[in-house]
Structure 1
Amino acid sequence: MSLINSYRKFLTGKLELDIPIATCEYNKIYTKDGRVVRDYLSQYGALPFGHNPEFCVKAVAEHLQNKSPVFTQPIFQEETEVFAQELVDALGGWAKNVTFANSGAETVEVGFKLARIKTGRKKILSVERSFHGKTYSALLATNSRRHNIDHLRNSDDSFCKLALNDFDALEKELETQEYAAFIVEPIQGEGGMNVADPLWLERARKLCSKTRTALIFDEIQTGLGRTGDMCAAMDLGVTPDILLLAKSLSGGLIPTGAAIYSNWVATAEFDRKHSSTFANNGLATAVGRAVLKELQKDEGAALTHVRKISSLVDEECERLTKQYPGIFSCRGAGLMRALQFKDNQAETNYFVTYMQNSGSLAWLFCSYLLNEHNMMVMPLLSDKCSIRFEPPLNVSEQDIKDFFLAVQNVCDMVQNSRYDILFAGLIEKPLSDLPSVEQYYPAARAGQTVSTHYTGTGKKRGKKFAFFMHFTVVEDCIRMMPKSMHIHYSEKEIRELAELIMEVGAVDYAPEIALEFTVSDEHTYADGLMIMSPIQARDMMNLSTAEKVNLMKEFVAVAKREDVELFGLGAYTSVITRGGEQNLDDIDGLSFTTGNSLTALATTETVIEAANYNLIGSVISVIGARGAVGKLMVSELSHWCDNIILMGRPGTEKRLLVELVPILCQLAFSAEQNAQPGSVIDNIQGYIHSSMPELSSYIGALNEAPEQAVTQVCELLLADDLIVSMGLGTSDCYQSTLEQSDFVVSATSEGKAFLSTEFLKEGAIAVDTARPFDFIVTPEQKAEVLEGGLVIQPQALRYGDVNMVGLPPGINLACLSETIALAMEGCEGRFSSGKSIPYSQARYVLDVARNQGFKPLGYSSTPSGNDYVDGIETVVSEDKAAALV
């Protein structure tokens, strides 16, 4: 575990990006194991002339050898004053003041302070997708969910954002005259290498002058050469009030920054109140002057070279864009680019789509370029699948040509869906074992898949919905992998890769879209999303409370970003939110469901059908009865069965009854559903009639029984275990209970298998609704183990090329089906939430599902645990599934 940043150390280590550096020079990184890596990242633009440029090293050496002053605050050094004037002159002479700082973010803070003191205003206007640093105010001006922190971002309403190049919004905001400053990057760096429209910046200049708002150009990345000029402002002919520099100013040797500003912004108050211990130091001055001199010598030959190389980059990008349409694209200018990749052929494959949308695929492209081509780049984290290209200003033409040949190799991989090649290095599989990259393998399986987008007309639109999902077992990850991996990796290799992905997912579990699709019937359609996190169940449960909250905030944020109106909580997203009652503070009127109603009733339907609708005389044990699904299963089975055993841990027996008996008493009074003679509900009703006739008139009164009546009956049934004679008992011994049970239903959130089928009674039927499954299936079992919570879909189609859990077309999970049915019906509100879902609501959800064409799978077609326990295949054939629908 790293003492510096364990997250980054872990991530770069697992992705083979943590190379052992020995020495660095120019654009070369020499490793301890003898490799020579070419650097096309330049420390995110902070190495203008590569690593350890001789002229900067010489300036530092001479400064220290001469024992020249370094830190002399509050005394100003003459060299620093000279450097300030040289900067002003190099930038065109419009500025009259310079304040030095120690980093880009600190320089941004200086800009804000200058503007606020000058104008007396507090508000700062910035641009969406901007990035200005990670200090407090800089972070508030930054519009990036990846970098921002909710409780910081929401703590100050004086920072507002508008869209890049939006003329109307710019005028509307600045005309309010509420802002101290408008800060903008001429080319957004971390935000995606998006270029500001010169006319828009000219309009900003005029509006800022008119409204006495300070115009700040954040040129921390663009400044001093990266666009082929001293700064983008000079190239554009737009003069800001404050111009911020940092990265290139450092020469790659010493952190520094500078705010250069006009007399209009300067105030005596700022001068009195601002200082910095390490700014204005002699060593940073020596390096900065050396950089400035290098840029200006030989009539600006360095800048001329940047413009020439930029033209070559333009040509290479244009070539690849034409050669790989829809796969490769480029944004940015000069030596500051985003190279974006997209595999449109894999849109029905969860694995590739998630990797693209989350940016994970970009990390792997960088890993591949490093380990196969010895080229260093890094992802552009704000983009779905982009790598950041910022070579040193003195990069050679040959370096550029070599780099884009390597990028072409990546494009070939994407075009031919060769993810087996891309991932091979992570499991140390030799590329020589794989076919050449020219061989094409489709990433997504074809056929029997729902449409990705609705293109028809005339149908009513249902709610746009999303389903929150994650891996429950490693087989989920294996199943979703592209075809080339299944063909060319051994079973051991593909499992090793899946386990690595899930190991990384336990640390970097940000959710993103894994599938876009649409569902429709004759009259209605609804657009849907699968929003996936790569975390598995056990790791999700091990998250701290704060991490669970943040994970759910991220799920909801993706849903909001996509204008989702209703979402479903899949798998353990329901568990960690206590059935949707916690950690969902940001839903702002969105409707949602946990899917637990249909999950429970689909499971009990399997049991009831298996018993040929006659459970009287059968012993049914329920595992996980305190959960939302378990309580509903007990509620439903109590109408059919006369001997239910609630299984729990030692010491929980009384608690089980205390929680379940009031629910059953309420059902007995409401008589919402007819109870089989002799069933638990029928017995409770009989007890009320015989022992408390004064209360019997309330039976069937549509939930109008007084609360005290229900409480009175509960107390009597719990006293002396009278409820046992009604047919409801408890047990803390799994073995003895399983040995006597004819039917077992299980729905826990254990996150692992803990029940052995060897204890099941011969001929018994167990229906396991948990994911991961609660039962460990053994070859010696004499009982039948089925998967619960499955639903027949209106059409024999998959959601995605393999469904989520490998089920055949036309069969899927009840929790997903509940989400879709409610969306198609246009339902609003919260459904199936909490640990005690009203039975009436569950029956309503079942009615909605049936109305939309969904129906419980039932016993005769339910997959057997013997065939399904590996989570990959099911005993139900695709032909049979189609026939069922």
Structure 2
Amino acid sequence: MSLINHYRKFLIGKLDLDLNIVKCENNKIYTQDGRVVRDYLSQYGALPFGHNPDFCANAVIEHLQSKAPVFTQPVFQKATEEFAQELVEVLGGWANHVTFTNSGAETVEVGFKLARIKTGRKKILSVDRSFHGKTYSALLATNSRRHNIEHLRNDDKNFDKITLNDFAALERELESQQYAAFIVEPIQGEGGMHVADVAWLARARELCSKNRTVLIFDEIQTGLGRSGGICVAQDIGITPDILLLAKSLSGGLIPTGAAVYSSSVSTPEFDRKHSSTFANNGLATCVGRAVIRELSKNDGAALKHVKTISALVDDCCAQLTLRYPDIFSWRGAGLMRAFQFHDVQADANYIVTYLQNSGSLAWLICSYLLNRHQMLVMPLLSDKCSIRFEPPLNSSAEDIADFFIALEQVCILINNGRYDILMAGLIEKPYSELPGLEQAFPAVVAQQTAATQYAGQEKKRGKTFAFLMHFTVVDDCVRMLPQCFHRNFTEAENRHLSSLIMEVGAVDTSPGVALKFCVSNAHAFANGMMIMSPIAPRDMMDLPAAEKENLIKDYIAVARREGAEFLGLGAYTSVITRGGEKMLDDIAGLSFTTGNSLTAIATTETVLEASGRDLIGAVISVIGARGAVGKLMVSELAHWGDNIILMGRPGTEKHLLQELLPSLCQLAFSAEQQAQPGSVIDNIQGYVHRAMPELSEYIGAGKAVPAAGVAAVVDRILADDVVNSLGLSTCDCYKTALEQSDYVVSATSEGKPFLNTDFLKEGAIAIDTARPFDFIVQPGQRVQVLEGGLVLQPETLSYGDCNMVGLPPGVNLACLSETIALAIEGCEGRFSVGKSIEYAQARYVTDIARKQGFLPLGYQAPAPAVQQATVPETSANEEQLAELS
């Protein structure tokens, strides 16, 4: 584990972006393994002339060798005073004051402090997608969901945001006269290289002057050459009250920054109260002065070169846009660019769509450019799928041309679906073993796939839904890989890559939309989406409580941004929220379900059909009976069977009965569903008639039995020790239970296979509803272990280019089906919540599902067998599966 930043070290290592650097010079990075990498990132714009430029290095050497002062606080050095004057002059002479700092974020803090002291106001106005640093005030002005720490934003009431280039919002907010400052980047850096409209900035200047709001230009990244001028403000003829500089001022050697401002902003109070231990130091001064000299010499030749190179970049971008209009787009100006990629042909493939929407594809492109072309760039973390391009100001035309040759190869790879080449380096697969990049393997192969959106007019529109999902086993990921991997990687390589994706997912859990699709029946439709995190169940369960909460909040945030009205919890998102109970405060305005009702009923329907609806005399084991799905399965089976074994861990037998008996007794009174003679429910009813006749009148009478009455029945059953005679028993030994059971239903959150099918009674049928599956099916073993919780869909289609758990078209998970059915119905509210779902609600949900065309798969219809991730795939009913497929 890295002592510095484990997350970043892990991510960079796994994505093959780590470099063992031994030397840096100009735009070259030399590594220990002999590679020479060209740097097109420039430390996010902080290396104006590349690494260790001679003129800066010589200035530092001369300064240190002469024993010139470095830190002399509180005494000001003459050189620092001269540096301040030179800075003011090169910026056009409008300023009268300079405050030096140690970083960009500290410079932003100085700007806020100045503005608040001067105006006496607290509020700061900034711009959507802005980035101003990672100190707390800078973060509050930064509008980035990736960088902000929501639960620690204790002062966010004093920070508002508007949309870039929105004139109406600008006027509305600044005319309110409530802001100390309006801070804006003329070109947004981390926010996506969006360029501010000059007329909009000019209007901001007018409004700030009129309403006594301090106008702050954050030119920490644009200033000193990157935009092709000394600063954008000077180029466009707009004078801010405060101009912030940092990155380029350092020359790539000494962290430093400067807030440059006019007398209209300065105050004696600020001068009295502000200082900085390491600011105003002699070493930073000598480097900063060297940078100013370099930019100014030869009549600004360095800046003219930037404009020439920028024009070349414009031409290259235009050519790529012309050749690949659906794949490549760009934003920015000067040597600050965002290059964005999108594969419109892969919208039915989970992996590619997720990689695009989560931003992970940008990381893969950066990895490919580094390892295939020896070029260093990094993603724009606040943008979906963009890389940032910020080469040194002195880059050559050859450097630019070479980069765009490599970038065109990326466009060709995406156009041809060649994600195998993009990701080959992650598992050290030689590029020579893959077909050439010109050979196309479309990510999605045409088949029975649901449309991405309903295009008709005549049907009723349901609610837009979002289903929260993640990989449950490696096979899920392998199955979802685009075609090129199945054609060009071995099975072992695909499993290796999928394991790596899930390993990264354990550290970077960021959810993203993995699929958009439409489901319809004869009368209605609903548009929806799958929102995926690449995390595995065990890793999700092992997250600290706060990280589990953050993960769910991230899921919900994506759903809200995409316009979801109805939310469905899939797999372990239900487990870590305790059946949705822990997320109730975060979903205001959204309806949702865990999907557990239909999962339970669909599973028990398989048992009922397998038995011909005759379970009297059969032994049924329920594994995971304390969970939400398990309890509902017991409730349903108790209407049909007379010998139900509740399986639990050693020492939990008493808890099983305490949790399940009250609901079973309540069902005996309500008689919502007719119980088979001799079944558990029928036996409880008979027991009440015999032992507690005073409560008999409530059975099936439609009257609510007093809670005390139900409790009294439970107490009497336990006191009389008649549980077994009613048809219930408990067991803490899986082997014992499996050996005597005719039917076994399993729905645990164990997170791994743990039930040995060798213990199954001959002729027994097991239905496994857990994911990952609870049963271990050995190769070649012919046992009836069926996949539970499956539902026939209203259309014989796959959602995406494959159903997420490998089911044939027209069959899918009950939890997803419950979400879709309730959304099509237009239901509002919360369904199937918590560990104790009311049986009446489960039947209600099932009725709605049936009405909308979602029918439990059952046993008579062909059903796929459990296929474990830990062993080669097997099938207990291969003929039926083949028939259905």
TM range (shorter): over 0.9
> Quick check: 1:739 aligned with 2:726?
no
Alpha-carbon distance between aligned partners in 2 of 1:166 and 1:405, rounded to the nearest angstrom: 37
Partner of 1:205: 205
Given that 2:229 and 2:303 are in contact with CA atoms closer than 8 Å, whether structure 1 keeps it comes out as: yes
Given that 2:202 and 2:238 are in contact with CA atoms closer than 8 Å, whether structure 1 keeps it comes out as: yes
Alpha-carbon distance between aligned partners in 1 of 2:791 and 2:568, rounded to the nearest angstrom: 16
Match runs of 1:504-583 below 5 Å: 504-583=504-583
Partner of 1:217: 217
Alpha-carbon distance between aligned partners in 2 of 1:725 and 1:862, rounded to the nearest angstrom: 36
Q: Deviations over 1:622-656 (max 9, x none)?
A: 00000000000000000000000001111110110
Partner of 1:620: 620
Secondary structure at the counterpart of residue 348 of structure 2: coil
Distance 1:222 1:872, change over 3 A: farther
Alpha-carbon distance between aligned partners in 1 of 2:692 and 2:439, rounded to the nearest angstrom: 79
> Quick check: 1:371 aligned with 2:355?
no
Partner of 1:762: 762
Distance 1:40 1:459, change over 3 A: same
Secondary structure at the counterpart of residue 582 of structure 1: helix
Alpha-carbon distance between aligned partners in 2 of 1:375 and 1:466, rounded to the nearest angstrom: 38
Q: Deviations over 1:28-70 (max 9, x none)?
A: 0011111110000000000000000000001111111111111
> Quick check: 1:98 aligned with 2:98?
yes
Alpha-carbon distance between aligned partners in 1 of 2:782 and 2:408, rounded to the nearest angstrom: 58
The answer to which of 710-719 and 41-50 deviates more is 710-719
Given that 2:739 and 2:759 are in contact with CA atoms closer than 8 Å, whether structure 1 keeps it comes out as: yes
Partner of 1:611: 611
- 1:560 deviates by 1.1
Q: Deviations over 1:391-441 (max 9, x none)?
A: 000000000000000001111100000011111111111111111101010
- 1:243 deviates by 0.4
Q: Deviations over 1:789-838 (max 9, x none)?
A: 00000000011111110101000000000000010011111100000000
Partner of 1:836: 836
- 1:863 deviates by 3.0
Alpha-carbon distance between aligned partners in 2 of 1:547 and 1:276, rounded to the nearest angstrom: 36
Alpha-carbon distance between aligned partners in 1 of 2:714 and 2:774, rounded to the nearest angstrom: 31
Partner of 1:387: 387
> Quick check: 1:794 aligned with 2:794?
yes
Amino acid at match of 1:166: D
Match runs of 1:98-247 below 5 Å: 98-153=98-153, 155-247=155-247
> Quick check: 1:668 aligned with 2:668?
yes
Match runs of 1:591-740 below 5 Å: 591-702=591-702, 704-740=704-740
Secondary structure at the counterpart of residue 865 of structure 1: coil
- 1:563 deviates by 1.8
Partner of 1:88: 88
Distance 1:231 1:429, change over 3 A: same
Alpha-carbon distance between aligned partners in 2 of 1:10 and 1:790, rounded to the nearest angstrom: 38
Partner of 1:256: 256
TM-score w.r.t. structure 2 length?
A: 0.98
Partner of 2:585: 585
Partner of 1:59: 59
Given that 1:717 and 1:723 are in contact with CA atoms closer than 8 Å, whether structure 2 keeps it comes out as: yes
Alpha-carbon distance between aligned partners in 2 of 1:755 and 1:380, rounded to the nearest angstrom: 46
Amino acid at match of 1:101: T
Partner of 2:485: 485
TM-score w.r.t. structure 1 length?
A: 0.98
Distance 1:44 1:467, change over 3 A: same
Secondary structure at the counterpart of residue 586 of structure 2: coil
- 1:866 deviates by 5.9
Q: Deviations over 1:639-678 (max 9, x none)?
A: 0000000011111101100100000000000000000000
Given that 2:599 and 2:790 are in contact with CA atoms closer than 8 Å, whether structure 1 keeps it comes out as: yes
Alpha-carbon distance between aligned partners in 1 of 2:883 and 2:779, rounded to the nearest angstrom: 26
Secondary structure at the counterpart of residue 339 of structure 2: strand
Alpha-carbon distance between aligned partners in 1 of 2:207 and 2:461, rounded to the nearest angstrom: 43
Distance 1:176 1:371, change over 3 A: same
Given that 1:349 and 1:515 are in contact with CA atoms closer than 8 Å, whether structure 2 keeps it comes out as: yes
- 1:864 deviates by 4.2
Given that 1:597 and 1:629 are in contact with CA atoms closer than 8 Å, whether structure 2 keeps it comes out as: yes
The answer to which of 126-135 and 149-158 deviates more is 149-158
Q: Deviations over 1:749-792 (max 9, x none)?
A: 00000000000000000000000000001257564100000000
Alpha-carbon distance between aligned partners in 1 of 2:155 and 2:466, rounded to the nearest angstrom: 29
Distance 1:75 1:437, change over 3 A: same
- 1:688 deviates by 1.1
Partner of 1:49: 49
Amino acid at match of 1:47: L
Q: Deviations over 1:141-170 (max 9, x none)?
A: 000010010112354310011111111111
Distance 1:233 1:582, change over 3 A: same
- 1:526 deviates by 1.4
Unaligned runs of 5+ in 1: none
Identity of aligned residues (%): 72
Partner of 1:268: 268
Secondary structure at the counterpart of residue 535 of structure 2: strand
Given that 1:505 and 1:536 are in contact with CA atoms closer than 8 Å, whether structure 2 keeps it comes out as: yes
> Quick check: 1:817 aligned with 2:844?
no
- 1:197 deviates by 0.8
Partner of 1:69: 69
The answer to which of 726-735 and 440-449 deviates more is 440-449
- 1:520 deviates by 2.1
Given that 2:570 and 2:595 are in contact with CA atoms closer than 8 Å, whether structure 1 keeps it comes out as: yes
Partner of 2:412: 412
RMSD: 1.4
Partner of 1:327: 327
Given that 1:548 and 1:583 are in contact with CA atoms closer than 8 Å, whether structure 2 keeps it comes out as: no
Alpha-carbon distance between aligned partners in 2 of 1:721 and 1:155, rounded to the nearest angstrom: 61
Amino acid at match of 2:79: E
Alpha-carbon distance between aligned partners in 1 of 2:171 and 2:433, rounded to the nearest angstrom: 60
Alpha-carbon distance between aligned partners in 1 of 2:200 and 2:213, rounded to the nearest angstrom: 16
Amino acid at match of 2:22: A
Partner of 2:78: 78
- 1:589 deviates by 2.3
- 1:619 deviates by 0.3
Unaligned runs of 5+ in 2: none
Q: Deviations over 1:706-762 (max 9, x none)?
A: 111111101011224312110010001111110000000000000000000000000
Alpha-carbon distance between aligned partners in 1 of 2:63 and 2:820, rounded to the nearest angstrom: 70
Alpha-carbon distance between aligned partners in 1 of 2:797 and 2:500, rounded to the nearest angstrom: 31
Given that 2:768 and 2:866 are in contact with CA atoms closer than 8 Å, whether structure 1 keeps it comes out as: no
Partner of 1:20: 20
Given that 2:520 and 2:795 are in contact with CA atoms closer than 8 Å, whether structure 1 keeps it comes out as: no
Partner of 1:465: 465
Alpha-carbon distance between aligned partners in 2 of 1:45 and 1:327, rounded to the nearest angstrom: 26
Secondary structure at the counterpart of residue 547 of structure 1: helix
Alpha-carbon distance between aligned partners in 2 of 1:780 and 1:711, rounded to the nearest angstrom: 50
Alpha-carbon distance between aligned partners in 2 of 1:14 and 1:355, rounded to the nearest angstrom: 16
Aligned length: 882
Secondary structure at the counterpart of residue 239 of structure 1: coil
Partner of 1:432: 432
Alpha-carbon distance between aligned partners in 1 of 2:861 and 2:240, rounded to the nearest angstrom: 71
- 1:454 deviates by 2.1
Alpha-carbon distance between aligned partners in 1 of 2:362 and 2:146, rounded to the nearest angstrom: 15
Partner of 1:846: 846
Amino acid at match of 1:130: S
Distance 1:831 1:876, change over 3 A: farther
Given that 1:470 and 1:533 are in contact with CA atoms closer than 8 Å, whether structure 2 keeps it comes out as: yes
Q: Deviations over 1:353-407 (max 9, x none)?
A: 0011111111111111111100000111111111110000000000000000000
Secondary structure at the counterpart of residue 156 of structure 2: coil
Q: Deviations over 1:67-120 (max 9, x none)?
A: 111111111111111111111111111111110000000000000000000000
Amino acid at match of 2:179: Y
Alpha-carbon distance between aligned partners in 2 of 1:355 and 1:490, rounded to the nearest angstrom: 22
Secondary structure at the counterpart of residue 529 of structure 1: strand
